Structure 1
Amino acid sequence: MPVKFHLVVFILYIYVDAVFSSFCYWNTACSYRYFSTKTPYNAVRGDIRDSVINLPECEPISIWGIFRSGRTYPDPKSAIKMKEAIAIRDLVVSSYEKGRCSLCAQDIDNLRDWAIDKDMFDKTSALHDEGRKEMFGVASRLKEVYTLLKELDRANYAFRSTQHRWVKESAKAFMEGLGNKNLVMDELTSDAIKTDVEEDPAWNKEMNKYTISPDYLAAKDRIQRRLGLDYSLTSDNITALYDLCWYTWSGLNNKASPWCALFTTEDLKVLEYIGDLEHYYKDGHGRQSTNMNNQIPLPDLLETFQLAKSGKGRKITACFTRSRIMDMVYAALGWFKDSKPITAADKKRDRLWRTSRINPHAANVVMVLNRCAFKKTSDYHVMFYLNEEPLRSVCEGGICSWTEFEKLLTPFRETTSNKTVS
């Protein structure tokens, strides 16, 4: 074989090795922090105190919001897989010591020094302390902006939660954030999602196709070479390591996880997209089932604001739920719908259905009914907020006239709603 050919191969090897060695996670200026529906709320939220829409001669008279629960501990199934994956840490350190791993020295130190939090295995599915603070913070900021929340009695509020433990704990944290110890939660009779999606083999079709796509396989190969392990990582291994990455990321302190050093930014984008596909086809715009509208509380929103117009409404109605219902609400309202369905074959960077931004931990949609006095006549406007930022894609700049609002909600008049949020 010609000498020149050996030289080219040698140079290429050095170049590839240098590329993989040049990425140091620990001092990356802006670490990637978008993990689909496991994204920390603080990574994407706004601040209602800065972004509130104030219209001249208008007064807020009623607030209606739907809130996803705050961050939780892993579910039992994920916790088991994460616990097993922790053993890979020693293999990565050993690989580095043998010169086969391309992680930076400091990334290895951070991974080696990482301490196991026993609560992640002992408190499965419970509300995490960060989740409690997320919900408390949302409520306290709302109260700071809207004075009508400072004096609440049993007749002018409603707090509704599903029966899921972590959701009820989130609701309680929110109520604590309002600073009124006398607030009580409504009793619910049911919180079951009546759906055939689990029996529908089509909902995870695109997600499964993506896990054998060139995009995913390239990421899998990058991770394998980056870690330099003696055995081939399975997709389950990668998922468990990814779970350790997002779970051990501190959203409140904006502190990156040493487990995320196992991935490049492009790897994390690939894994994020798997979550987008899952939620798009399971409960979002790609869902085939037709009974979705029966599961969401939008009829109550219209009724609540109609009563408020007549002087009989509540100051605040807050519904607490899971990520699945948030997806259903977005799909039912036609929000965040791309011109073409998202698929395994085309991971668009500018897609509208981006669960990291629309459905992170503690995701929320808040509507505020305002009574306005223009030329001595009463008029009403509704402001829309997503995660404490105006939802500008609704009406004009997130401000709907009453006519526009009624038109948006009218399709839900005939749906069956028991005012629960499954």
Structure 2
Amino acid sequence: MMTVKFNLIVLIFYIYADIALSSFCYWNTACSYRYFSNKTPYNAVRGDIRDSVINIPECEPISIWGIFRNGKTYPDPKSAIRMKEAIAIRDLVVSSYEKGRCSLCAQDIDNLRHWAIDDDMFDKTSALHDEGRQEMFDIASRLKQVYFKPNELDGANYKFRPTHHRWVKESAKAFLEGLESKNLVMDDLTSEFDFVDPVNTDAEENSAWNKETNKYKISSDYLSAKDRIQRRLGIDYSLTSDNITALYDLCCYTWSGLNNRASPWCALFTTEDLKVLEYIGDLEHYYKYGYGRQNAEMNAQIPLEDLLESFQLAKAGKGRKITAYFTRSRIMDMVYTALGWFNDSKPITATDKKRDRYWRTSRINPLAANIVMVLNKCAFKKSSDYHVMFYMNEEPLRSVCEGGICSWSEFEKIFSPFSDTTSNNKTTSLK
């Protein structure tokens, strides 16, 4: 009798699960889930500096400093190989639907069936995507509208410094084009200002920093998502974790942020599945380049030292109008870690996925992520004073100081630990 009741419960569970899966149509979802960890489109999370700029009476901006992640790229060679192999699963899904075993909607199947392969995705691995180029151009264009008068940068004192990676250089070039000033040039790289990758990528699969991610992939949370995906597709082929990662990458890389056009590959996943896969990205970045890795913040010290010096010079009337660093996703993680920003009270782990976590890479480190600080000279009661405005992804970063506005003394307190890059880092809390 107990066995019969147990089997009945299991049967009811699968019936309701199948109903839930079959009732989800991706193509007409009012608000498609578009948070893909560090592959999140910039337009999915950005603000607009033209609307969000903080204006204080009797204050004028005298110097701008920013650090910018590269825009959208094509996948790296290793991911591209897996994605190309995973495309064959499309035929299995379509066949499964025709046999009545797949839970995808008819339109989702049509969109997947008619999806055209972009050969550039596999032929131009790691290169800057046209969308990434436009992201960087648009960021600069919006900044210019707010902070620069026509031709103001011509002959001005400035610095634009990218890392040596070609997709970062291409991002920097697009940014300069967005400023639309004559003859702007990037700095030639010197070893002093190039970033050193602290991670040995050859040992990637077995290194200590990957353990928490692997632990999550055998958790009930992940295994439930894997089971949902398998049943949703209804294919005989047993999906591996590598297959799911490749299908997820197809979803991410073919999602257009510029025109908010969802990818048909995302229809393979429910919203809950995408949240599980997003969390894998959070764990990976936390333990590779964030708080879960000892001394991960070391590479962020050089640009942060330059920030303090730049604004000190600007106060003395010798500063640059704009300073911009261009880098990769991992350096953004390290900058946040060096500053103590977005640090959860307890480490994020495979066994404790907090929905309201601060370390959420979709929000803090999307494609083209950026932090911009603006030094303002203010004249209150005929005396000069200085304030620094903080922005992240074109929204005021209000948790640094009240309203995102720091007095000069508050600013120095935050960044003075970086005045000597060989000293021990002190941090300031930002949730």
Whether TM-score is above 0.5 comes out as yes
Aligned to 2:157: 156
Relative to the length of structure 1, the TM-score reads 0.94
From 195, 198, 201, give the equivalent of 1:195. 198
Per-residue deviation, 1:100: 1.1
Aligned to 1:128: 129
Match status 1:261 vs 2:284: no
Corresponding residue SS for 1:397: helix
Give the Cα separation in 2 of the matches to 1:210 and 1:377.
57
Conservation of the 8 A alpha-carbon contact between 2:58 and 2:379: yes
Match status 1:285 vs 2:314: no
Corresponding residue SS for 1:99: coil
Conservation of the 8 A alpha-carbon contact between 1:149 and 1:315: no
Aligned to 1:28: 29
- Map Cα deviations across residues 343-398 of structure 1 (whole Å, 9 max, x no partner): 11111110000100100000000000000001000000000000000001101111
Aligned to 1:312: 318
What code does the residue aligned with 1:142 have? L
Aligned to 1:246: 252
Q: For residues 181 and 233 of structure 1, do their structure 2 counterparts lie closer, same or farther at Cα, with a shift above 3 Å needed?
A: same
Q: For residues 378 and 226 of structure 1, do their structure 2 counterparts lie closer, same or farther at Cα, with a shift above 3 Å needed?
A: same
Per-residue deviation, 1:324: 0.7
Conservation of the 8 A alpha-carbon contact between 1:197 and 1:289: no
**What does 1:351-390 align with in structure 2 at a 5 Å threshold?**
351-390=357-396
Give the Cα separation in 2 of the matches to 1:399 and 1:206.
37
Conservation of the 8 A alpha-carbon contact between 2:297 and 2:338: no
What code does the residue aligned with 2:159 have? A
Match status 1:217 vs 2:218: no
Give the Cα separation in 2 of the matches to 1:47 and 1:334.
25
Give the Cα separation in 2 of the matches to 1:302 and 1:189.
20
Identity of aligned residues (%): 82
Conservation of the 8 A alpha-carbon contact between 2:64 and 2:375: yes
- Map Cα deviations across residues 279-303 of structure 1 (whole Å, 9 max, x no partner): 1111111111367156541000000
Match status 1:349 vs 2:384: no
Unaligned runs of 5+ in 1: 418-422
Give the Cα separation in 2 of the matches to 1:62 and 1:157.
9
Aligned to 2:335: 329
Corresponding residue SS for 1:367: strand
Q: For residues 221 and 313 of structure 1, do their structure 2 counterparts lie closer, same or farther at Cα, with a shift above 3 Å needed?
A: same
Aligned length: 416
Corresponding residue SS for 2:47: coil
Q: For residues 375 and 352 of structure 1, do their structure 2 counterparts lie closer, same or farther at Cα, with a shift above 3 Å needed?
A: same
Conservation of the 8 A alpha-carbon contact between 2:199 and 2:288: no
Aligned to 2:402: 396
Per-residue deviation, 1:14: 3.9
**What does 1:219-238 align with in structure 2 at a 5 Å threshold?**
219-238=225-244
- Map Cα deviations across residues 171-217 of structure 1 (whole Å, 9 max, x no partner): 00000000113100100023341525656932112111111111001
Give the Cα separation in 2 of the matches to 1:292 and 1:338.
20
Aligned to 2:102: 101
Q: For residues 58 and 295 of structure 1, do their structure 2 counterparts lie closer, same or farther at Cα, with a shift above 3 Å needed?
A: closer
What code does the residue aligned with 1:49 have? R
Per-residue deviation, 1:151: 1.1
Per-residue deviation, 1:111: 0.3
Give the Cα separation in 1 of the matches to 2:233 and 2:28.
19
Per-residue deviation, 1:72: 0.3
What code does the residue aligned with 2:34 have? R
Q: For residues 148 and 63 of structure 1, do their structure 2 counterparts lie closer, same or farther at Cα, with a shift above 3 Å needed?
A: farther
Q: For residues 293 and 155 of structure 1, do their structure 2 counterparts lie closer, same or farther at Cα, with a shift above 3 Å needed?
A: same
Aligned to 1:40: 41
Aligned to 1:206: 212
**Range that drifts further, 87-96 or 12-21:** 12-21
Per-residue deviation, 1:16: 3.0
Conservation of the 8 A alpha-carbon contact between 2:297 and 2:337: no
Match status 1:412 vs 2:413: no
Aligned to 1:169: 170
Corresponding residue SS for 1:94: helix
Q: For residues 294 and 273 of structure 1, do their structure 2 counterparts lie closer, same or farther at Cα, with a shift above 3 Å needed?
A: closer
Corresponding residue SS for 1:204: helix
Corresponding residue SS for 2:128: coil
Corresponding residue SS for 1:297: helix
Conservation of the 8 A alpha-carbon contact between 2:296 and 2:334: no
Conservation of the 8 A alpha-carbon contact between 1:62 and 1:308: yes
Per-residue deviation, 1:144: 0.4
Corresponding residue SS for 2:208: coil
Conservation of the 8 A alpha-carbon contact between 1:193 and 1:295: no
Conservation of the 8 A alpha-carbon contact between 1:143 and 1:150: no
Corresponding residue SS for 1:219: helix
Give the Cα separation in 1 of the matches to 2:297 and 2:274.
34
Q: For residues 350 and 10 of structure 1, do their structure 2 counterparts lie closer, same or farther at Cα, with a shift above 3 Å needed?
A: closer
- Map Cα deviations across residues 397-418 of structure 1 (whole Å, 9 max, x no partner): 110000000010011111059x
Q: For residues 291 and 66 of structure 1, do their structure 2 counterparts lie closer, same or farther at Cα, with a shift above 3 Å needed?
A: closer
Conservation of the 8 A alpha-carbon contact between 1:74 and 1:125: yes
Aligned to 2:65: 64
Match status 1:85 vs 2:91: no
Corresponding residue SS for 1:302: helix
Q: For residues 277 and 16 of structure 1, do their structure 2 counterparts lie closer, same or farther at Cα, with a shift above 3 Å needed?
A: closer
Give the Cα separation in 2 of the matches to 1:296 and 1:266.
39
Conservation of the 8 A alpha-carbon contact between 2:102 and 2:233: yes
Give the Cα separation in 2 of the matches to 1:184 and 1:221.
52
